[in-house]
Structure 1
Amino acid sequence: MKRVCVTGAGGYIGSWAVKLLLSKGYVVHGTVRDPCDETKNGHLKKLEHAEERLHLFKADMLDYESLCAAFAGCSGVIHVASPVPLHVASTVPGLRIPNPQVEQLDPAILGTQNVLKACSKAKVEKVVVVSSGAAVMVNPKWTSDMELDESCWTDIVHANSTQNWYALSKTKAEMEALNFAKRHDMKVVTICPSIVIGPMLQSTINATSLLLLSYMKEEGRARGDSMENIKRPYVDIRDVSEAIILLYENLESNGRYICSAYTLTTKEFVAKMECLYPGYNYPKIFRGQTSSASLNSGKLLKLGWNYRPLEETIVDTIKNYEEAGFLEKGKPFPSTVTF
């Protein structure tokens, strides 16, 4: 029975990757900050087959030895762990990170280096590194009529000068992963999801779920009834996890893969939500329209990936938010996060 380790197992993407691996019969190692923290990781222990096939390891991406222990005996590693600021989907990325080097850049870049070194030591056969569409799209050369593929990269100088620390960290970490693979003849594949939405398994809110909640709740919006009409790419969390496992299992997967399903303006997305779930406090005024280049997932589709209808994502997500109590007034927005 093959063993696969998922870093950042308790997070939004990591949790779904663990769930899918367990359902497919894998023994799963999961790295978390504290295996005893039931608030952050208790949901993992409740997953089907977790009792017999899930092993949680206390690890930090900046602690090489802890990663070596977690990867021992694993044939594959899915590297998800990387800081995601709560405001990452907002229009002012990087603005609220007091110490970006310590809080964002080092954990992402040095953490990826440590993961790959530990994979090499453990003789891991294949690594899937979860990057981001932010490593593709942040480039002043890209115009709104362009369709971006895997040859397109975020401009590091531009990301640094605009203090887009998230995009900078994901770009440099992904470049390091692919270069490490070439230098050490290691099988490394990277995946770049767009804005990931859909139902959560974890109990603590994540950045992109806050974005969707801001479409439905006034306290998540900086200007009450109005929002900027930004054109954004989206993909369902379940489709992302399926893409990750596909890339791990498919012998022909190589290089990087964009993973995105739909591109809509805020107005278009809100209209779909309101049609399916009327009665919530949706914005009524949409200011301007900010366009950006679109993402092309053709390479991933050719490998056999599929994505579900957007309406299914919206229905399942809002049901999840209702059950979690996130749509009640006053929850769950931190006072510093608005869109």
Structure 2
Amino acid sequence: MKRVCVTGAGGYIGSWVVSLFLSKGYMVHGTVRDPCDETKNGHLKKLENAEERLHLFKADLLDFESLCAAFAGCSGVLHVASPVPLHVASTVPGSHTPNPQVELLDPAMLGTQNVLNASLKAKVEKVVVVSSGAAVMVNPELPSDMELDESFWTDIEYANSTQNWYAVSKTIAEMEALNFAKRHDVKVVTICPSIVIGPMLQSIINATSLLLLSYMKEEGRSGGDSMEDIKRPYVDVRDLCDAILLLYENPESNGRYICSAYSLTTKEFVAKMESLSPGYNYPKIFTGQSAYPPLNSEKLLKLGWNYRPLEETIVDNIKNYEETGLLEKGKPFPSTITF
């Protein structure tokens, strides 16, 4: 039977990757910090086919031997694990990362090196590394009048100077992954998603869910009834996972892929949410105008990727928030996280 390992299996993206690969008949190894932590990982054991085909491994990205144990017998590795600070979707890079070397840089960069070396040792055939749009579009010299494709990279020196540690970590880690493939006999493909939205499987809130909740709840907004009107790129977490599966299974996949479906201003996104689910505390005033550079997913689309309508994502997202109680007043925003 086909066997793969998913790093960071209990996280937002990792959980959906595990679910999808189980549904496609794979045996799945999942790395987590503590397989016995029901709060963080209990949802994985409830997934369909998990009892028969999911094996959770206690592993750490900085512990090479633990990764080797998890990868043993696998033909593929889906490297999803990487720390994402809760403020990452905000407009203040680095503002809540007191120790970036320990919190972001080491796990992303050294962790990716360990994943690649452990994959080589386990004779893994293919590794899909989940990078980020942050490895593409943090660069003051980028053209403002064109979509960014896979040839564009974040300027590491500039990201360092602005303390955008997340962009630094993802860019260096992705570069290392692609260079590793040139030096060794293992196929490596990277994927750079934009802001990932959609329903959650895990119980621990993630950064981009906080961003969407801030569109619906005043306590998540630093400006109260107003928000900055930023144009952002988005992709549904389930469509991202479809792309990861496509890149893993398609022998033609190679190099780097951008994964982004839509680009909307805050005002446009809020208007869409309010039309589909009225009655929540949406912002009424939109200030300023700024934009992330638009991302081009043509390379991925040519490989056969498709994405669902934005309306479906929003409806499913809000339903998920309602069912999990995240729209109740006062939840789930820590006092320091506002957008």
TM-score calculated relative to the size of structure 1: 0.99
Gaps of 5+ in 2: none
Q: Confirm or deny that 1:246 pairs with 2:233.
A: no
The answer to whether the 8 A contact 1:220-1:333 is kept is yes
- Partner Cα separation in structure 2 for residue 9 and residue 24 of structure 1: 16
- Partner Cα separation in structure 2 for residue 209 and residue 90 of structure 1: 12
Letter in 2 for 1:314: I
CA deviations on 1:178-226 (whole Å, 9 max, x unpaired) are: 0011011320000000000000000110000000000000000001000
Which residue number in structure 2 is paired with residue 192 of structure 1?
A: 192
- Partner Cα separation in structure 2 for residue 4 and residue 193 of structure 1: 21
The answer to whether the 8 A contact 2:138-2:159 is kept is yes
Identity rate, percent: 86
- Partner Cα separation in structure 2 for residue 143 and residue 202 of structure 1: 38
Which residue number in structure 2 is paired with residue 73 of structure 1?
A: 73
Which residue number in structure 1 is paired with residue 215 of structure 2?
A: 215
CA deviations on 1:31-53 (whole Å, 9 max, x unpaired) are: 00000000000000000000000
Structure 1 residue matching 2:136: 3-state secondary structure? helix
The runs of at least 4 aligned residues of structure 1 exceeding 3 Å deviation read: none
Structure 2 residue matching 1:202: 3-state secondary structure? coil
Query: 1:303: Cα distance to partner?
Result: 0.3
Structure 1 residue matching 2:231: 3-state secondary structure? strand
The answer to whether the 8 A contact 1:30-1:56 is kept is yes
Q: Confirm or deny that 1:20 pairs with 2:36.
A: no
- Partner Cα separation in structure 1 for residue 44 and residue 97 of structure 2: 29
Which residue number in structure 2 is paired with residue 300 of structure 1?
A: 300
Letter in 2 for 1:194: S
- Partner Cα separation in structure 1 for residue 107 and residue 189 of structure 2: 20
Query: 1:334: Cα distance to partner?
Result: 1.0
Gaps of 5+ in 1: none
Structure 2 residue matching 1:295: 3-state secondary structure? coil
Which residue number in structure 1 is paired with residue 142 of structure 2?
A: 142
Which residue number in structure 2 is paired with residue 327 of structure 1?
A: 327
Structure 2 residue matching 1:70: 3-state secondary structure? helix
- Partner Cα separation in structure 2 for residue 256 and residue 176 of structure 1: 12
- Partner Cα separation in structure 2 for residue 126 and residue 143 of structure 1: 34
Query: 1:93: Cα distance to partner?
Result: 1.4
- Partner Cα separation in structure 2 for residue 36 and residue 306 of structure 1: 36
Which residue number in structure 2 is paired with residue 177 of structure 1?
A: 177
Query: 1:291: Cα distance to partner?
Result: 2.1
The answer to whether the 8 A contact 1:144-1:292 is kept is no
Letter in 2 for 1:323: E
Letter in 2 for 1:274: E
CA deviations on 1:261-308 (whole Å, 9 max, x unpaired) are: 000000000000000011100000000110232100000000000000
Which residue number in structure 2 is paired with residue 280 of structure 1?
A: 280
Which residue number in structure 2 is paired with residue 42 of structure 1?
A: 42
Which residue number in structure 2 is paired with residue 263 of structure 1?
A: 263
- Partner Cα separation in structure 2 for residue 151 and residue 185 of structure 1: 24
Structure 1 residue matching 2:219: 3-state secondary structure? helix
The answer to whether the 8 A contact 1:6-1:80 is kept is yes
Query: 1:145: Cα distance to partner?
Result: 1.6
- Partner Cα separation in structure 2 for residue 301 and residue 141 of structure 1: 27
Query: 1:142: Cα distance to partner?
Result: 1.2
The answer to whether the 8 A contact 2:120-2:185 is kept is no
Letter in 2 for 1:120: L
The answer to whether the 8 A contact 2:233-2:292 is kept is no
